[in-house]
Amino acid sequence: KQEVTQIPAALSVPEGENLVLNCSFTDSAIYNLQWFRQDPGKGLTSLLLIQSSQREQTSGRLNASLDKSSGRSTLYIAASQPGDSATYLCAVRPILNAGNQFYFGTGTSLTVIP
């Protein structure tokens, strides 16, 4: 069974700092990997989707990389802002019985201090 781990569980940084969030998964047979943002008590907002054949995706100040062979993905946030404060979740979609069954990590809670 696929297991997804996110480190660190919580992170607090001053505004303007660049930061990296880590995600690791146990089974490299994935269809794609998706990073989400979740504000307290809210649903998930998709940030970046990386297909298994891709190495990275970029959107604005966000860059996500994927190393499928080592079972790792990173989310890089440049020039962090207080509005970036949220929980960041990564999720992998397995190749077998893909459907819409994503396996999620428990998230990294990010606080950006003004």
Partner 1 sequence: DAGVTQSPTHLIKTRGQQVTLRCSPKSGHDTVSWYQQALGQGPQFIFQYYEEEERQRGNFPDRFSGHQFPNYSSELNVNALLLGDSALYLCASTPRGSRIPLHFGNGTRLTVT
Residue among 7 and 79 whose Cβ is closer to partner 1: 7
Residue among 18 and 59 whose Cβ is closer to partner 1: 59
Minimum separation from the CB atom of position 84 to partner 1 (A):
19
In the complex, which residues of this chain contact partner 1 (CB under 8 A)? 4, 32, 34, 36, 41-46, 49, 51, 89, 91, 97, 99-107
Sorted by sequence, the CB contacts under 8 Å of residue 99 that are 6+ apart come out as: none
Minimum separation from the CB atom of position 36 to partner 1 (A):
8
What distance in Å separates the CA atoms of residue 46 and residue 100, rounded to the nearest whole number?
A: 14
What distance in Å separates the CA atoms of residue 102 and residue 77, rounded to the nearest whole number?
A: 23
Minimum separation from the CB atom of position 114 to partner 1 (A):
26
Residue among 32 and 65 whose Cβ is closer to partner 1: 32
